[in-house]
A and B are shown apart, each in its own frame.
Chain A
Amino acid sequence: MEKSVQEPLVSAQPAPKLNSGVVITHEDIDRAHDRERVLDARARGGMFSRLRLLWLLVGPGILVMLGENDGPSMLSYAATGSRYGVGFFIPFVVLTFFMALIVQEMTVRLASATHRGHAELIFDRFGPFWGWFSMVDLGIGNFLTLITEFIAIRAGLGFFGVPPWIAVLCALAVLFLALVTHRYWTWERITLAAALFNLVFVPVALLARPHWGSVAHAMTTWMPLPGGLTKETLLILLADIGATVTPWMLFFQQSATVDKGLTKGDVRFGRIDTTLGAALAATAAVATILATAPLFAQHMSAENFQAAEFAQALQPLIGRFGASLFALGIVEAGMVACITISTSSAYAFGEVAHRPHSLNLPLRQGKSFYLVLLLCAAAAAAIVLIPGLPLVYVVLVVNVIAVLAMPPALVFLFMLANDREIMGDLTSPRWVNVLATCVVLFLTLAGILFGVSVVAPNVFAFITGK
C-alpha cells in the first residue's frame, strides 16, 4: 500500500493519549529524563540556555568522528606524515573529514526523523537480504577492526613497558566500566571525555615545532607531493580515505542519535555536533601528520607500529614527554574506537534481530545487547594475545574490507535519506544530494580502485606510469 508522499510513515504526531496502547519501559523512562532537560533548556531561552542545550545535545557526532580517529587511522596519518612530510596530504585529510561530515549529517536526519537505527531501516525498507547483508558485513568489519584497536592499545601501552595481557585487560575493564551505569547519558559523557584526549596529538605536533609557513603553503596550494602520483601515493590516499569514512560510523551515529532521543527539532544541534566532531578529528589528524613530519627523511612504515616505533622514533626529536603523549594518544584512539565500534555492532544486531538495544537498558533487560557488545570486544582482545599472530596481515585485511564495504553502505544511506515516506520534510534537499552524490561516487571509485589494487597491483603502476 503506497502512502502519500506528504505523510511520513514514522509519524511526528503529538504525544499519544494514555489509552493509545503504549507500554512504558525502563529505557523510555531514562530517555524521557534526558529529554526533559532538553525541553527545559529550550523553554528558557537566553544565551546560557542555548549553551546548555548544545551541551545536552552534542555527543554522537563528536564520538563518531573522534572514534574514527582510531588506532590504525592515527598510525595511517603518522605514516603519511613520515613518508610525505607537510604538503598535499594536509588539505587532503581535511577534505576527507568534510566528506565524512556530509555523509554523517544524513544519519542525524535519518535518526531524528525515524527514531530507528540504520540496520533496522535497511532491513525494513529493503528486505531481510540487504538487512542481514549489512549486519554481517558490519559485524565482520567491526570485529576485525576491533582486533586492530587492541593491537594499537597493546602497542601504545607497550611503550611504557606494560605487558600485553595487562594492556588488554585494562582496555576491557574501561569498556565494562562505561557500560555498568546502564545509562546512555553517563556512557556518552565518559566516552566523550576519553575521546577528547585524542587532541593530545596537538601538543605533540607543537613539540615537533612545525614550520607554519609550510603548513599555510600546503593548505593553499595542495603541494608539495614528494615523488608525484605513484602507486604508493594512491594507496596512501585510499588508506586515508578509509581512515575517515567507514561503514560503522553510519550505523553508530544513527543508532546513538536514536538512543540519545534527538527529534526533528534537534537536527540543527545534531549538525553542529557532527561539524564540531569533524573539526576536532581533522585537527587531531593534521596534528599527527605534523608530529611525524620530522621523520620524513627516515621513511617510517605503518607496518612498524606494532612496537610503537613511531613514538620511539619521535623521542629524539620531541623528547620522552612528547613521545609518551604520542603513545598515550594511540592508546586513547584504540580505546575509544573499541567502545564505539563494539557498541555499533551491538546496536545493529539488536535492530536486525529485533532484540532490545539501548544503553539505557538494565543489564537484565538488555542481555543480548550487552552480551554482543562484550563478547565482540573480549574475543578481539583474546585474539590479539595469540602469540605469532600475523597482526600486520589482519590490519591489511581490515583496510580492504573497510574500504570495499563503504559503497553499499553509502548507496543505502543515500536512498534512505531521500525516502520521503520516512523522512517527511527532512528529506535531503537538492544541494545536499549534489554534494552527497559527489561523495558517494568518489568513495565508490576509491573502493573499486582499492579492490583492483589488491587483485592487480600492477594496474596502479600502469595508471600512474610509475
Chain B
Amino acid sequence: MATNNNQINGSTVPPNQKFVLVALEPDQLAARKKKPIPRRPLRGYEKFALWSLRIYVIFMIAVVLYQVLSGAH
C-alpha cells in the first residue's frame, strides 16, 4: 500500500522525503509552480490603466533615448 502511494508519475517519493509534503504547502512545490496561473480577465478601468501605461512607456523610452543621445553628444 505504502509502495503504491509512493508512486508518483512514474517517480518515487522516498520515505525520507515525505516530510516535504508536510512542511510545504502544495503550491510551494517546484513542480506545482510550473503550472501557470490563468490570465486575468480585465475590467474597463484596468484596460484603461494598461493603455495609459503603454503611452507612459513610449514617453519613458523617449526620455531615456533623449538622455542617452544628448549625453553621447
Interface contact B37-A18, CB-CB below 8 Å: no
Q: Which residues of B contact A20 (CB under 8 A)?
A: 8, 26
In the complex the two chains form, is A28's CB within 8 Å of B37's CB? no
Bound-state Cα–Cα, A390 to B64, Å: 17
- Taken together as a complex, chains A and B put the C-alpha atoms of A275 and B6 apart, in Å, by 43
- Looking at the assembled complex, report how far the CB atom of B7 sits from the nearest CB atom of chain A, in whole angstroms: 8
Contact string, A8-37, partner B, CB cutoff 8 A, digits 1/0? 011111111111111111011101110110
- Name B41's closest neighbour in chain A (CB-CB): A2
- Choose among B9, B11, B34, B56 the residue with the greatest number of A CB atoms under 10 Å from its CB: B56
One of A29, A116, A354 near B37 (C-beta < 8 A): A116
Contacts of A114 in B (CB 8 A): 27, 37
The complex places the Cα of A24 from the Cα of B58 at a distance, in Å, of 44
Q: Do A405 and B60 touch across chains, with their CB atoms under 8 A apart?
A: yes
Instruction: With both chains docked as a complex, state the minimum distance between the C-beta of A362 and any C-beta of chain B, in angstroms.
Output: 13
When the two chains form their complex, are residues B34 and A18 in contact, meaning their CB atoms are under 8 A apart?
Answer: no
Please tell me if the beta carbons of A15 and B22 are within 8 angstroms of each other in the complex: yes
Nearest neighbor of A117 in chain B, beta-carbon distance: B33
A139 to chain B, nearest CB (A): 14
- Taking a contact as CB atoms under 8 Å apart, the answer to whether A17 and B5 are in contact is yes
B contact residues around A425 at 8 Å (CB): none
**Across the interface, do A10 and B20 meet the contact criterion of CB distance under 8 Å?**
no
A454 near B67 with CB under 8 A, answer: yes
- Residue pairs across A and B with Cβ atoms less than 8 A apart, 17 shown, are A2-B41, A9-B37, A24-B13, A24-B21, A29-B20, A31-B23, A32-B19, A35-B23, A36-B23, A124-B37, A263-B25, A393-B71, A396-B67, A400-B64, A404-B63, A408-B60, A415-B49
**Residues of chain B having any CB pair with chain A under 8 Å:** 4-9, 11, 13, 17-34, 36-41, 46, 49-50, 53, 56-57, 59-60, 62-64, 66-68, 71
Going nearest first, the 3 A-B pairs with the smallest beta carbon separation are: A32-B23, A32-B20, A35-B23
